[in-house]
């Protein structure tokens, strides 16, 4: 599933063709994705201007001139792809509709934004912009890891006394929003903390070191356009390439890249998810 860097990369790719632009026509080609699409979604979106294209955690948020916000989640395999854009950097012809093209937005300058989702785990909803923070998908999310509310004192206090492994604690979207399996594995390796360690038993000073490392890991991934492992594509159809910088994720059996470590990357399963780490240098 795309994590924060992938969703932020898609958002940045969509801004030039959606933000400030009129949606001349919206088309829904099926009644549902992961759950039913909003009632009369095409009619409610058609003719509206996208005032702002934002992101909260792994959700894209398009504030419309109608006073509603379109909430979009890519799910496991969803893609928002641009075609017909006047800017060469985003030009991608899609002359024949794909059978997995489920929602289409035709913009005023001739660009088309298509939501393609082979597995249909993606989702869309409409909510009043003024009530957005209370929406059930967003209401319990923790702070953004790249925002000012995510800082050393916050994370130390939030994890104090927790008996869950640090990996699970960081994946809890109520603790910090947008982190997923890849970037938690990478951040824990960078600071040398074992994913098995109980969050509440790690010294406050070590917890504090996670904050700048999480930020740096995410920023590097965004700069690289995210990580393309299976279905993820940027809005221009190109692959991200942060996967080439992985230190431990998906590197089971390989030598740990930390200078002087000499260990081997291992894979374990935590809460049904693969965790990659080096048991030699991560304590």
Catalytic residue status for 25: no
Range list for CATH 1.10.8.50 in the chain: 152-277
CATH number of the structural domain 4-134: 3.20.190.10
Domain with CATH 3.20.190.10 in the chain: 4-134
Architecture of domain 152-277: Orthogonal Bundle (1.10)
pLDDT in tens, 113-144: 999 999 899 999 999 999 999 999 999 999 99
Is 186 a catalytic site residue? no
Q: What percent of the chain has pLDDT over 70?
A: 89
**In sequence order, what DSSP letters do the residues of the chain get, joined into one string?**
---HHHHHHHHHHHHHHHTT-BEEEEEESSSBSSSBPPTTHHHHHTT-BEEEEEEETTEEEEEETTSEEEEEE-TTTEEEEEES-SSGGG-----S--TTEEEEEEETTS-EEEEEESS---EEEEEEGGGGGGSTTTTT----TTSTT--HHHHHHHHTT--SBHHHHHH-TTTSSS--HHHHHHHHHHHT--TTSBGGGS-HHHHHHHHHHHHHHHHHHHHTT---SSS---TTSPPP-GGGG-SSTT-TTSBP-STTT--B-EEEEETTEEEEE-TTT--
Mean pLDDT, range 58-66, rounded to an integer? 97
Say if residue 90's pLDDT is above 60.
no
Q: Let me know if 128 is a catalytic residue.
A: no
pLDDT of 206-225, one tens digit each? 999 999 999 999 998 888 87
The pLDDT value given to residue 224: 81
Task: Let me know if 6 is a catalytic residue.
Answer: no
Q: Which of 2, 5, 145, 195 is catalytic?
A: 2
Catalytic annotation, pick one of 58, 158, 233, 234: 58
> Tens of pLDDT along 140-166?
999 999 999 999 999 999 999 999 999
């Amino acid at each position: 599933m795309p994590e924060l860097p992938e969703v932020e990369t898609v958002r940045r790719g969509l801004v030039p063709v959606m933000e400030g632009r009129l949606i001349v026509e919206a088309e829904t080609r099926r009644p549902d994705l992961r759950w039913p699409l909003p009632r009369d979604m095409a009619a409610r979106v058609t003719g509206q201007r996208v005032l702002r294209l934002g992101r909260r955690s792994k959700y894209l948020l398009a504030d419309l001139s109608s006073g509603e916000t379109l909430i979009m989640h890519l799910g496991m395999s969803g893609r928002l792809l641009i075609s017909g854009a006047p800017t060469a950097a985003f030009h991608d012809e899609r002359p024949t509709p794909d059978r997995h093209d489920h929602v289409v937005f035709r913009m005023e300058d001739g660009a088309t934004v298509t939501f393609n989702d082979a597995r249909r785990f993606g989702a869309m909803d409409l909510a009043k912009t003024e009530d957005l923070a209370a929406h059930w998908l967003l209401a319990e999310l923790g702070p953004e890891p790249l925002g000012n509310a995510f800082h050393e004192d916050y994370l130390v206090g939030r994890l104090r006394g927790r008996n869950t492994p640090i990996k699970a604690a960081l994946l809890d979207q109520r603790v910090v929003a947008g982190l997923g399996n890849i970037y938690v594995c990478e951040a824990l390796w960078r600071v040398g903390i074992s994913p098995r360690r109980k969050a509440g038993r790690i010294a406050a000073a070590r917890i504090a070191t996670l904050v700048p490392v999480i930020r740096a890991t995410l920023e590097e991934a965004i700069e690289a356009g995210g990580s393309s492992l299976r279905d993820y594509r940027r809005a221009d159809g190109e692959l991200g390439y942060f996967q080439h910088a992985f230190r431990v994720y998906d590197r089971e059996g390989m030598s740990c890249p930390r200078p002087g470590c000499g260990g081997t990357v291992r894979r374990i399963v935590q809460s049904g998810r693969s965790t990659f780490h080096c048991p030699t240098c991560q304590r």
